[in-house]
Structures are given as structure tokens and as C-alpha cells.
Amino acid sequence: MGSNLTGIDLQGKSAIVTGGSIGIGSAIALKLAECGANVAINYRKHKEEAEEIINKVKSSSRKGILVQADISNFEDAAKMIESVVKDFGKLDILVNNAGINWDGVIWKMTEEQWDSVININLKGYFNYIRAAAPIFREQKSGKIVNVTSINGLRGKFGQANYSASKAGIIGLTKTVAKELGKYGVNVNAVAPGLIETDMMKQATEEVRKMAIEEIVLKRIGQPEEVANVVAFLCSEMARHITGEVIKVDGGQYI
């Protein structure tokens, strides 16, 4: 699983990572485990991939929990958090990562396209924060990290639904940071640019070339590079950081 980041100690912490079966989510789940945390992930349809990630978590002598849960379902979210607290004994870290995209220009976008993306990408984050907030508030500690996107900061042609959901996550992050700050809870967001996920690996060479032209560092980011920042924000090294949106994009935004 690679070497641990110097100084990032999550020993004995319990974490939930939504959408932790593939892509950036799986890298986050493995990084948190590498830093010492017990990790629970949910899956909706990628069961085999999710089982593989949890087996890797367990192989590093951490506890791992796998839950089938639709993040857009309010009750599913509450049940998952209740189940994790029961099994792990507590909850210290919540990483909201699960999301989808269903692109289309605004004059062709259907109501289903809009609702699906907003319900998973934005309402899903609310569902988990809503369920975790009373726990964090009562214990007067906790870390919440929300995965947004640079497209939530700048917009993206053909992604009105996705960009709106990711912008909403930024507003949600800042508001919850204000609401939970006095209870010792840190709430931050990371905004990845183009990252080498399975979807990107399937892109044509022309698409990849155009994307790299936009990135100052002239390369596509790796999931582990996002996971490193998330792990830092989940640690006590970041205890005086809250309400922030940290871009991990190789300069793509600028």
C-alpha cells in the first residue's frame, strides 16, 4: 500500500468513505487505512471492487466494513452511520466522495439527468453529514472532508448539473464548518482537477492531449495525490484548517 506520509497518524480512528470502491474513493480508503484508521465504505453496484478494497484494508491489520447503501437515500445514510458506530464503537472521520456525472448541454438536459446528479452528488453529501453531525457535536470532535471539483468553482460546458452539484458542495462545506466549528469539528473540501480514473483511461488520445494542455504541470493527476490531501485534512496536523477548498489539479484551474 506504499509508505505512510510522515506525521499523519490516524491510529485508532474510525472513518467512512462514501463511494470507496473505485477511483479516488478507493485511493482515499486505502490511504486512511495506511495511516492507521479503520475504514467503512459503501457501494451501490461495484460490489466486487468494494470487496477487494475492504480486503486490502483488512490486510493492513485494520478493521474494514462494507455496506450496500444508496447515498441519495436519507434512511440508507443514517443506517450506515449507525451500523459503523455500532461495529467500530465510534466515528471520527467522514469523507463524502461518491458522485456521478450525466452530461448534456442545458437546452437538451432532461429533468432525470438534473435530478439524478443533484440527488447523488449534493443530497448524498447532506444525508451523511446530517447523520454524522449529532455524533460529532456530542463528542466535540470530528473531521469531514467533501470531495468537490474545480468545475464547481469555474463551471464546465455540458455539465450544468455536475458543476451546480459541486458548487453546492462548496457552499455546504463552508456552512457546516461554521455550524460545527465550536464543537471542535473541522469541515473542508478538496477540489480535484482531471484525475487518472478508469473513465479517463478510456478517453481518446486527442481528449487526453487537450486536457493536458489545460494543466500547468502538463500531466494528469493520480488518485493517490488527492488521497494524500484528504488524509492530511483528516489528521491533527490540519486541526486549525476549516471551511477551506483545496484544489488538487496541477494548476488546471488557473
Catalytic residues: 162
Q: Which of 77, 152, 160 is nearest to 115 (CA)?
A: 160
Cell, residue 14: 474510525
Question: Cell 455539465 appears where?
Answer: 159
Q: How far apart are CA 166 and CA 145, in angstroms?
A: 13
Is 86 buried (19+), middle (13-18) or exposed (0-12) by CB count in 10 A?
exposed
Q: Under DSSP, is residue 203 helix (H, G, I), strand (E, B) or coil?
A: coil
Q: Which of 117, 178, 184 is nearest to 152 (CA)?
A: 117
User: β-pairing, 14-17 with 38-43?
Assistant: parallel
Q: Which of 112, 143, 122, 116 is nearest to 37 (CA)?
A: 143
Instruction: Check: CB of residue 85 under 8 Å from CB of residue 60.
Output: no
Residues 201-217: b if buried by 16+ CB within 10 A, e if exposed: eeeeeeeeeeeeeebee
